[in-house]
Amino acid sequence: MHFAYYFYGMNKYLLILVILFSSCKSDKKNQDFLTEDYNVKLEVYNFDELEPLLTKKDDKVYVVNFWATWCAPCIKELPYFEKLNEDYKSKNVEVILVSLDFPNQYEKRLKPYIKKNKLQSKVVALNDVDSNTWIPKIDKNWTGAIPATVIYSSEKRAFYERSFNYSELEEEVNKFLK
Amino acid sequence: MKTIKKWSALLLIAVIASAFTSVNKGYKIGDIATDFKLENIDGKMVSMSNFEDAKGFIITFTCNTCPYAVAYEDRIEALNKMYAPKGYPVIAIMPNNIDVKPGDNMAAMQKRAKEKGFTFPYLMDKDQEIYPQYGATKTPHIYVLEKTKKGNVVKYIGAIDDNYQDASKVKTKYVENAVNALLNGKEIEVKETKAIGCSIKV
C-alpha cells in the first residue's frame, strides 16, 4: 500500500511507466486475480442509506471503522478490526468497515484490496460529498480526519478519532460487553 | 498555614485551567492566530508579518500525499490567484512528519509546487509546532484570518467547499464566501465546516 502512496507525488509519465513495467512483470496468478473470479460485491451508500448501520438497536455491539485504502494508518489498523470481528463473533460483536475511497477507486483499488486481503468484516463504501452535513451526525467532535471509529450498542455509544492497536481496541470493546 | 492554603488554591486553579485548555485544543472563531516563521520551498523563511499589505490570510494546511489535498490543489491555487491581489493571500503549510510520509519532504514539496505552478508560499511545519496551536487535524484544513490591530483573528475554519470529488459540482464555496464577506465588511454566514481529510502524521 505504501508504494501506491508515492504515486501522488510522482510524475504522470513515470507513473504510466511504472504501471506498464509492473504489468509486464506480473505473474500469471496475479493476472487471474485481476481478471477472473472477480466477484467482490460492494454496497455503495449515501449517508441516509448508511445511517441505519450506525443506529441498529439489537443485542449486538457494533464497531464501525471509517477508513480508505489510501490512508496509511487505516491500513495499519485494519487487521486488528478483522481480528476483532473474528475473535469476538461469539460475543455478539460485529465489525463494519466503511470505506471513504473515491468512487473512481472502487474498481481499481478498493475491490482488489478487499479481495487480496480476504476481508471478512462487512465492507460498505460511503459516497456522499456533503461531508459538512453528515460528519457532525456521526459525532459532533469529529473533525473529519480518518481513521475514525464508532463503537455502539443499543445502550451506549463512543466515538474515537484515533488509531488503535489490538489491545486498545479490545479494551474499548470490552467496555460494551457485560 | 495561610500561605499553604493560598498556594494550594492557586495550584487547584492551575490544574483546573490546564484541564480545560487541554480539552479545547486549537483555535475557535474569534481567537488570535499565532504568527510563524517557517521555511518555504525557495529556502526563505516566511511569516505572516512579511505581508505588510495583506488584509488577512487563507492559511491552508495541506500536503502532497493525501488524496483529498491533491483533489484540492487546483482550487487552492485558484483561491490565491483570486484573493492575493485583494489582500487575502494563501499560505500553505505542510504539517506532516516526513519520516512517516517521505513523499512530503522538502524536495517533494518543491517538485509538486513546480509541477502544479503554485504561486503561493508552501511552507514546512518542520518542528510540528504550528499546526497543533491552530488545532489542524487533517489535510486539507483551512483557516481564514483577518488582520486587525490586535492580531490575525480566526474568522473561518474548515473546508474549501462542499464537494471534494468534483469542483464543477460544488454548491457552496465556503472559503470564497468567507473572504468575500470579510472584503465587503459583512458577517460570515458559515464560520465552521467539517470535511473528511487525512490525519496529520506525527
Q: Which tens digits make up the pLDDT trace of A22-65? A: 444 444 344 434 444 457 889 999 999 999 999 999 999 999 99
Residue B102, all three cell numbers: 517521505
Three-class SS state of A4: helix
Q: How far is B119 from chain A (nearest CA, A)?
A: 18
- pTM for the model stands at 0.82
Residue B99: phi, psi to the nearest 5? -70, -35
Does CATH number 3.40.30.10 belong to domain B27-199? Answer: yes
Q: What's the pLDDT tens digit per position in A113-164? A: 999 999 999 999 999 999 999 999 999 999 999 999 999 999 999 999 999 9
Residue A22: phi, psi to the nearest 5? -70, -30
Model pLDDT, residue A161: 96
ipTM of the complex: 0.81
Contacts of B169 in chain A (CB under 8 A): 129
- Among the partner-chain residues B169, B193, B199, the one whose CB lies closest to the CB of A145 is B199
In contact, B62 and B164? CB cutoff 8 Å: no
- Give me the torsion for CA of B23, B27, B30, B35, rounded to 10°: 140
Residue A164: phi, psi to the nearest 5? -125, 150
Model pLDDT, residue A39: 72
Contacts of B193 in chain A (CB under 8 A): 132
Model pLDDT, residue B11: 55
**CA dihedral over B48, B51, B57, B63, signed as positive or negative:** negative
